[in-house]
Chains A and B, each alone.
Chain A
């Protein structure tokens, strides 16, 4: 069955890149432009995996992850954090918020798909 990935990123470039890499790999992609938009998209998207940026207006990645984890219907959805920040403190904060794993930007499609495989059966 086609898996659905919800991507949450305020950068159109990043959203387009993710879309290209993910659709090429056979995923269905639902896009959200920031944390709040992402939370609103949860029900409609029914995502198998969520990929989110950290630095976003309105609601950042940490807030978004916390929001997903508080949502009974989606709290078990794997969330991968996608960010250029490779420093440990951001990763740790994302984990504390409930992130499943992370992808360090710039990513290549292999890295991306590999990360998804690690959290989705």
Chain B
């Protein structure tokens, strides 16, 4: 990629971070946090966006961020109070700024009206203080960033000069090589007497003279009359002065002054055009003026042993002038403050995701290898206390630790998805006319990057629901004796190796009679069904259930909680609801920390070892002959409590066998697909539960219908991980001859989509 394009990508990534910082800071301020560092961080965020935008000539973004920054600067300085009204404006401005960033990134457009009125509001806010200062103009329009190569003139040809050479009258004509002295030149006389401050700021007289030399042809005289005797000389002081005759075509005084821009106030400077009446002479006489080689001066200054001492003392180093060693002073804040600050912004490196995934893959191999080794060793009948067995235990611990650490590399705080919600909440609140406060907790909780990315949509949907359906209008709340402002809480935490995310509201809660009625009306349950409160609440997850009388703009178009549940399940997660009428509802999501390992039930089917994802399994049971009924030649159903579900022989549907053994001899796994449909899967025996490393079949072999992925067990055998949804779908070509695959001994290869997580 073109390096500038790559920087642009970085810029937009950084913008997202800055926008998050901005919003977080403004929300903290809105919540009453008056820490000046927060205001600073908020200012910096907008400032950085503007800086980068300027470099890339993103003019709309520059213009808006400039207005924003100006207002923030006045808040930072305390000229504008950060009251609630102002903070609301700033939060909305942050949203518009985000729109500008994304428009610049994706080539889209922003809502001109909204952006314009917000920019006006910001300007009005700033102009309330000082209209003149509020908009200083940005001058970003004419900026072009084109990398160029420019050689810096090295004073390589200057001869080494001693103090005598310097003090001797050396005449040097220094002129730019390509600019021969012109005739009708203007001639300027410049007297330049540096003060000690000039050297303390690391400016160099020699370099300033070199800059003058670039303007035309110069003659330089050195005034050493200010030099004290050796005993009285302070090597860090400034004693020398220069007089320069500069001639060049059409030289303006301002151009000459610009050379001295950075030392203004740190030197005596007198610039007179030849023919003009001379200004008063400096206090020092200039009878010892000499003409010296500018480059030699620079060299002499460079050779200084005492940094910052300036040319004069440096040139006298061979006179054995010794600098007073100054006391080392504390240059940085105390270590504690540093440590605290470091904690606040940990150092990071950016690594290609592919490398991390490769590492995760290898660690998966390591885990498998270690398990195999352990099993082999166990087969040798070694004592538990033998050194080999003990060493293996250590290896196992280390392997687990490495696995956890490597998984942690892919882990990201949920903040990256949570941070989108304050804006969402503001927008939905505005659309529904409700007053909402969003409380977020545990944003630092970490989970696999892929999980985070796929959490965004379901969480967005649930937050919309919580406001749209969960919370009452302010008037309703007031009537119910609640504060007008409703609260939506979003919290993340780690619990027993999984991440739990709770979305709760203090709204009206689930209207159970209505939910049950809808379920009956839609034929989802029978009118006689006797359901517990919990079961009624969970009806909202059923496919086709939607309580909204009309399709709402906010909660999506006909997309219900069943879709949310399906996406959570596709991540190997579970979702639950608990609700109390009049007090609100809480949705609880429980998700695996990674998609690279899976909690599985290891089962035996027709001599094959298979793994069923634990998240799909509701229960396992031993079928009784009385509960099983035949439906046609190939179909069977099993009665589980008050419902009948299809009984599917995994061995047959995967092509391992053609005759189904009596169900009473095996075990049935009651599973639930992503769509909420249930089935009982017949297996021969359950070996146990274990965590397995997911290996992609697509990447290593080819996609196999009915199989989501593979894993390698401790004994080295490949075990296939079932794609529950696929095996539940009745096969269209049942009974037709199919080409078996060698890996597992004969599959029906009819195209059944695989839906479980694919890792590879």
Contact = CB atoms under 8 A, between A and B. Distances in A.
Interface string B297-318: 0110110100110000000000
Contact of B345 (A57, A75, A109): A57
B307 A76 contact: yes
Contacts of A13: 7, 10-11, 14, 48, 51-52, 55
A101 to B, nearest CB: 4
B332 A25 contact: no
A77 B344 CA distance: 29
Contacts of A100: 201-203, 262
B545 interface: no
A1 B705 CA distance: 65
Contacts, number: 167
B147 A21 contact: yes
Interface string A91-109: 0000100111110011011
A120 B207 CA distance: 7
A87 B136 contact: yes
A106 B140 contact: yes
A121 B206 contact: yes
Contact of A25 (B6, B143, B149): B149
A119 B329 contact: no
Interface residues of A, number: 56
Contacts of A24: 147-149
Contact of A36 (B40, B200, B210, B341): B341
A95 B147 CA distance: 29
Interface residues of B, number: 70
Contacts of B202: 75-79, 98, 100, 119
A97 to B, nearest CB: 9
Interface in A1-40: 3, 10-14, 16-17, 20-21, 24-26, 33-34, 36, 39-40
A66 B43 CA distance: 22
B201 A36 contact: no
A99 B331 contact: no
Residue in B139, B302, B333 with the greatest tally of chain A CB atoms within 10 Å:
B333
A77 B304 CA distance: 13
B201 A11 contact: no
A75 B149 CA distance: 29
Contacts of A55: 40, 43-44, 47-48
B328 interface: yes
Contacts of A40: 332
B295 to A, nearest CB: 9
A62 to B, nearest CB: 13
A69 B149 contact: no
Contact of B203 (A16, A26, A56, A119): A119
A68 B202 CA distance: 11
A73 to B, nearest CB: 8
Contacts of A114: 150
B331 A68 contact: yes
B143 A71 contact: no
A45 B659 CA distance: 76
Given A11-B52, A12-B10, 5 more contacts: A70-B330, A84-B51, A109-B146, A113-B150, A120-B207
29 contacts: A11-B48, A11-B51, A11-B52, A12-B10, A13-B14, A14-B48, A16-B7, A20-B7, A24-B148, A25-B150, A34-B345, A36-B333, A36-B341, A55-B43, A57-B40, A75-B200, A76-B304, A98-B200, A98-B201, A105-B54, A109-B147, A109-B150, A114-B150, A117-B153, A118-B211, A120-B152, A121-B154, A121-B155, A121-B299
Closest 9 CB pairs of A and B: A76-B307, A106-B54, A101-B262, A13-B52, A13-B11, A76-B308, A58-B341, A78-B202, A67-B331
Interface of A: 3, 10-14, 16-17, 20-21, 24-26, 33-34, 36, 39-40, 55-59, 67-72, 75-79, 84, 86-87, 95, 98-102, 105-106, 108-110, 113-114, 116-121
